A and B are shown apart, each in its own frame.
Chain A
Amino acid sequence: MKNLIYKTSLLLLLLTGSSCKKWLDLKPRDGITRQGFWKTKEDIQAAVAGIYTSLLSPPPRVGDKALTEWIFMHGELRADMLDAGLGSTIEERDMFDNNIVSSSSLASWSAYYRTINYCNTVLDYAPAVKDSDPTLTDSQLNAFRAEALTIRAMMYFYLVRTFRDVPLKLSSSAKDTDLEELAKSTSAEVLTRIVADLKEAEAVAVTSYGSTMANKGRVTKYTINTILADVYLWMDNYTACITECNKVINSQLFSMQTANGSWYTNVFYNGSSTETIFEFNNQLATGSIPNVFYNVLVLSTRKRYIASNYLLTNTFVPDDVDPDRIVDIRADNFFRSNDLTITKWGTELPSYVNWQAYRITDVLLLKAEALAMTNAGAEAIAIIEDIRLKRAAVNATAETPDPGDADGIINYILNERSREFAFEGKRWYDLLRVAKRDNYKRLDVLLDMIAGTVSPTVQQSAIIKFQDKNSHYLPIQEAQLFVDPKLVQNPFYTK
């Protein structure tokens, strides 16, 4: 009998011993685990595709606006080209009036950081794939890394322009133990990092993927140069900006299309034209998704934004000679003058118009702005006039600044940019870039804008607010301050 007891206890011991560990180790059957992923170069490819996909839509079951919509809102709402539509929320109306509080859901940065995390994931885990996939070459790996670095830099560039000082998260969050409490980095630190990342990417990025769609829809060396030019101009580094612009221009791969009836169709509706440097590709192909703007801008009862009335009187002025026939080709294609509906991103449901992140005209006008700031006003004016010619801009919007009058040229550039990039999420950043230059020498740019757009009842308070330069940046959302004590609120919003 004793023997039996021993046998029993031995069996029980065996049961609970080593074999249990194995028995309890279960893996899901649907879904790939990180450990099972990152094995081949195709895995990296899929993860990089995931980064781009995240620009168009939040992942399933994440209740957030699409990143494109955030870019649009943060770049336009506080500027002068939009008005509230029927479906706009109270918070959005407050933002139009520059009446922003830290509890506002519009001060959310989560969409940018979500994409940053996907970039970080690729940067952290792609290199190890080399160990398991010998067919992965260094240049392939580096090209993938360049894409991730560039999108991450681009996201940080949006953040730094919207919030100024932001936490710099450079590693992926794969585990709960990876969670960190970060303090804000200053905008200078963030910008330095952006430049470093872009420089690193530029060295290894490809110049072509072998198809036009991919060349426009994915990051190429020229995308990187363009973003760098934009970043340098934001940092007031004019010569570097001009250098980067020239790299793009001299590639001779990008050119403006002629101003005829099919211009809008070629550049926007079909997309991937010679004008485009980088676009978020929605184009109707198997399995793609429509852009988010139909509900936001077009659907009659629910649209949240319409074009500002100000556009009719100031930006797209009809020609005084023959208002019916001579028109800027941009005006009619971007919005409907009768009900101010913004049509640039398509009027159909579903709409597959691509989001244009950078076009060649952007590079040209960035260069013009840098030239104007480096006493090359004549060259700058030439660029503007060239663009105006190709867009059939009307005489009524022509300006004649003196080539030595940098401020005048800059104003002209700003006006031309507002026509060229209407509703592309750039207006606010353009204004702010100019206003903050040389220690807010041109604050008048912002104050003039307010005079034109903000509701009369709150105009005075908006003007007073804008005297405080901290107010030009959005607050950190209140809920974020609760969960990270290291985050310090933008001082303007603590009053």
Chain B
Amino acid sequence: MTKKYIYSFCIVICCLLVSIEANAQITNVKGKVIDKKDKDPVIGASVVLLDKDGRVIKGVASDIEGNYSLPVTDKSYRIRVSSLGYKSTTPIAIDKATINFQLESSDNQMDEVTIVGRVKSNNGSGMSIDKRDQTGSIGTINAKEIEDMQAASIDQALQGRLSGLDITSTSGDPGAPMQIRIRGISSINGAVDPLIVVDGMPYDISIPSDFNLGSSDENAFGQLLNIAPSDILDISVLKDAAATAIWGSRAANGVLVINTKRGSIGPPAISYNFKGSYSRQPGPIPMLNGNQYSSLILEEFYNAGRQFSTSEFAKQFQYDRNDPYNYYNFSNNTNWLEAITRVGYLQDHNFSISGGGEKAKYRASVNYFNNQGTTKGTGLNRMSARVNLDYTVSTKIRFSADIVYTHIDSRNLYNDFDNNRKSRVREVAYQKMPNQAIFEYDEYGNITSNFFSPAVTAQGTFINNSPASTYNALAMALAAQNHQLGERLLPKFGLRYQIIPDKLLLTGNFQADINNTKVKTFLPQIATGRPFTDASVNSAGDTDGDAFTMASNITLAYTPQLGKKHDLILFSRFDSNDSRRTGQGMFSTNTASSFLADPAVESRNNGIGSAYSSYAQSRSVGLLVSGQYKFLDRYIFNAGIRGDGNSKFGPNNRFGLFPSISGLWRISGEPFMKNTARYIDNLSLRSSYGVVGNAPRYDYTFLNTYQNYGFSYLGQAGVYSSNMELADLRWEKVAQLNAGITLSMFKGAINLDADVYRKRTTDMFYEGLVIPNYNGYTAVDMNVGTMDNQGWEFSLNGIAVKKKNLRIDYSFNISHNENIIRQVSPYFPRENNAKITENNRFKVFVQENNPFGSFYGFRYKGVYQDQNSTIAIDEKGNQIIGPNGQKVYMRFAYPSIDYVFQPGDAMYEDINNDGNIDYKDIVYLGNSNPKLTGGFGTGITLFGNIRFGANFSYRYGYDMINGTKITTTSMNGFSNQSTAVLRRWRSEGDVTDMPRAVFGGGYNFLGSDRYVEDASFLRLRSVTMKYDFSKNFMRRLGMKSLSMNLMMENILTFTRYTGQDPEVALRQTAFSTLVDNSTTPPIKTLTFGLTANF
């Protein structure tokens, strides 16, 4: 419907334009166009007649002698000449019949265009305000600063660059998305990604949650990838409510505004940019070799009091030459991690052409990106093309047309752990028994080219969706397929109409977003070794998700001239968004051959859910009215109100009103500051308050829907009510209070911004809140309470030295954020459901008015070295003696479990000295929210053409659970362990910190401080060297510029953390703890880059 209005609106505008009266008087104008210098005729110069608004009425090209002739129908017309390589003339009135033109050459004039005047800050909305007058908190980074990095995607490059923006990599695999958080998370459950705005239009980066792309992480597509970094002009981060308010309901988690490069007047500028890189993974945790592993397993069994030699799998550990097949296949020293790892390569080619004349400007670019991942079986190919066109119809009307096309082809690891939608290949490689061969040996000891994938080993078997599943990791990485194909097309049309020049401006934009994704998966028999009748064998999947989004907006900006002292901007904007998603999928298993990888092939087994389709649609509208008033260039006041409507809510709660208000006081402009004007350029105080609404993730939850059972009763189909109508689901409201100061001194030598804020989320969403189940349901989505995000940010940058041959830039930023639950529904659980008496469990509590992220467990005291040390000790340090004089030994969880600690067992601190380790002995262990995050960097430019840069990012003061340490030192099952277990307790009297090995029992890896580590780190994120070839040299080559650069990334990390990498993305709910499970760590990369401009 909105579309209709937009169209009719455009038609109204067009009608207005056509109303040009014709004039009877006809004259003719002619003349000659010559070069000013050599007086030669200029051929093909464009001679145009313009009306009073600068709109082209008629145009001709000068002929071979430079002559032209044009009929003139109106006296008010003016005439103008332009030609490539010459300066355009200013339009002149037609006062005589013959007008000759002399054109001045425009050689080299485009090289040193410096944009004078103030930078307009851009919040992407179309309301442009001087950056220095911006009342909200906005951080901006120019892509120049980051364009040399190899980053496939712009988010990688942004890491550590802006305050309040925390970006973490989820994995070092190609195409893996980054987790972007602006000032923490404002919702504990639900949508937490910031809104991305590209060229003024929202841009979805996550796969809609209703797509059942069986194999992909919810945002594993990292759709930011689709924007080639070299096409980006600048990126702004909108942090406080005053800045985000205009974006309405989707901006509750902050906004990232990206503007792409556009064409500018000048001859065609051709640019080619190449990046090639070499990357490798940092060294893995050292694991046991085959022999060490085999002896560990036998010891585990002995300590558990179990017979191993008679068990079915004993032959895999017997190294028995009389059993040659098992001997050859199970007597190896395989390094599984090394087997699945390789060197990664990347190439990125970007070719662009841009330029334009008075009327039309263009920029077109093509990008090819290819990345071979550091884990075998992973890779990414991307082709993208972008055309940005601007056409000036007249001084009043301008329109633009942008078209972006992206094709992505990415190969990922097979997601065998579907519930969490991830691949366990790396985890399995860590745990896989090292005495097993990768490739099968025959009975004579000859290695074959077949993967050695036994259906079952001592470690177990492949089980789909199970964390206990195991398989040949290399076979899984190479033979199984998880192929994702994406096509995305984004046509966008924009119109600017100056209704009253310099006073009233109307803009309209329409964008369609066609985003189609296909995932093809196949799990061949060899990847798991399961027998052919097993449901996991030769299982093929083919899923499609097609999203079609139409977004439009209309803005009206009114800037009346109120005299020198007053500035006023009135602004209104209407947005509409319609998004439709369809998904189809098909699955089948047991196709007849491992080469029949398509589910359409008739196969043996098509179970329930082997085909599905889905359809969902959401719509939203928003109307913003805002105004900014400035008095005396010192006092600025901004207020706005936005109404939002969203189809995800029921009729009663569909609309929300969200106000915002902000102000700025420029102290440096005050008369009493006159004396300081020599060194203070700008000193301002800012403050803002605003509310933004957040809509829930799922559609149609306000309706009670009925669904079919998958079977019948007495031949009748049964229907049941599948959900509750969420009639009470309301907007989640995020109110943000921000106060900040901006100071810039010594003409840009020091630019300082500091902000404190508090973001209060009320009516916070919670998905799956437990309710009394006598209602017939166990959980419901609800607005549950109030949560705060509070913190501060500080950023400092500038130019430390600016001399002719030396320039030093610096930047530094630091932020702090904490999450606190203020008030919460009584239904909200107060603790996680971890049983502290089970191994590898940590307790998490939610306490009102306390920051969350804290976790609890036992305190680890080492290992009981002998029998005597397991005697319980009272608070005075004396051994506890029972009433009959018997020794009382330390027990675990008396009376429910009542395990008596044995020598070699892990010793936990008996906090209450009762001789019993139970829930009363758990203590605070740590908090996984960083106290400080940020980054700093410097750039040194020598002689204007040699540049060195270094950038660091850091996190400080947070604790992480080293999950890999738990699983690699538990010595509890058949999983391979790290070499740290070589110092394990073996016999009475051993003094060590590593408990004994016990198969399937014991309490040696309870959640304790043994695994909690300070994960603070400082990382040298990148080092760059760049050389620009000199201008004169270039001119001789016929090129405009050429530069080369070399860059190293993730070279050095300073940390006390003992795991593989301290940078771990947190999937945050109120109960999540930060656990490092060693996914592919950020890779170390060396990149060579080349940029040539013609």
Contact = CB atoms under 8 A, between A and B. Distances in A.
A110 B621 contact: no
A337 B718 CA distance: 39
A46 B727 CA distance: 25
Given A1-B499, A12-B554, A31-B706, A57 B711 contact: yes
A117 interface: yes
Interface string A308-336: 00000000000000000000000000000
Interface string B575-610: 000000000000000000000000000000000000
A20 B50 CA distance: 42
Contacts of A33: 703-706
Nearest to A54: B720
A176 B719 contact: no
A22 B700 CA distance: 15
A12 B1 contact: no
Interface stretch (A2-10, A254-262, A406-414): A2-10
Interface in A162-215: 166-167, 169, 172-182, 213-214
B574 A60 contact: no
Interface stretch (B170-178, B297-305, B523-531, B771-779): B771-779
A218 B645 CA distance: 47
A21 B654 contact: yes
A176 B729 contact: yes
B720 A113 contact: no
A52 B613 contact: no
A441 to B, nearest CB: 33
B747 to A, nearest CB: 43
Q: How large is the interface on B (under 10, 10 to 19, 20 to 34, 35 or more residues)?
A: 35 or more
A53 B720 CA distance: 9
A56 B646 CA distance: 39
A181 B572 CA distance: 46
Give the residue among B699, B717, B774 with the most A Cβ atoms within 10 A: B774
Contacts of A15: 2, 5, 574, 621, 623
B535 to A, nearest CB: 14
A473 B766 CA distance: 34
Interface string A39-77: 000010111011111101101101000000000000000
Nearest to A37: B706
A24 B654 contact: yes
Given A24-B646, A117-B776, A288 B1 contact: no
Contacts of B711: 53, 56-57, 287-289
Contact of A281 (B574, B651, B714, B777): B714
B707 interface: yes
Contacts of A178: 724, 775
B728 A177 contact: yes
A346 interface: no
A7 B623 CA distance: 17
A177 B728 CA distance: 6
Nearest to A121: B721
Contact of B775 (A47, A179, A479): A179
A31 B2 CA distance: 27
B725 interface: yes
Given A169-B774, A287-B711, A16 B651 contact: no
Nearest to A64: B778
A495 interface: no
A116 interface: yes
Nearest to B711: A289
A286 B705 contact: no
Contact of B705 (A32, A60, A116, A181): A32
Contacts of A417: none
Given A176-B728, A480-B773, A30 B709 contact: no
A335 B645 CA distance: 64
Interface residues of A, number: 84
A484 B772 contact: yes
B829 interface: yes
A49 B716 contact: yes
A59 B707 contact: yes
B1054 interface: no
B714 A213 contact: yes
A23 to B, nearest CB: 5
A43 B721 CA distance: 12
B129 interface: no
Contact of B724 (A25, A173, A480): A173
Contacts of B621: 15-16, 20, 23-24
Interface string A79-108: 000000000000000000000000000001
Nearest to A12: B574
Interface in B681-712: 699-700, 703-707, 709-712
B514 to A, nearest CB: 20
A483 B724 contact: no
A114 interface: yes
Contacts of A53: 709, 711-713, 718, 720
Nearest to B709: A53
A305 interface: no
B706 A175 contact: no
A105 to B, nearest CB: 11
A123 to B, nearest CB: 13
A110 B645 CA distance: 37
Contacts of B16: 4
Nearest to A45: B716
A134 interface: no
Nearest to A44: B719
30 contacts: A1-B504, A8-B9, A20-B621, A20-B645, A21-B651, A28-B615, A28-B700, A29-B615, A33-B706, A34-B705, A45-B716, A59-B707, A59-B709, A60-B707, A114-B773, A117-B721, A118-B720, A166-B774, A169-B774, A172-B776, A173-B777, A174-B725, A175-B704, A175-B726, A176-B726, A281-B713, A281-B714, A286-B715, A287-B717, A483-B772
Interface of A: 1, 4-5, 7-8, 11-12, 14-16, 19-35, 37, 43, 45-47, 49-54, 56-57, 59-60, 62, 108-110, 113-114, 116-118, 120-121, 166-167, 169, 172-182, 213-214, 217-218, 281, 285-289, 479-480, 482-485, 487
The 5 A-B pairs at the shortest CB distance, nearest first, are namely A117-B776, A53-B718, A50-B718, A49-B718, A110-B773
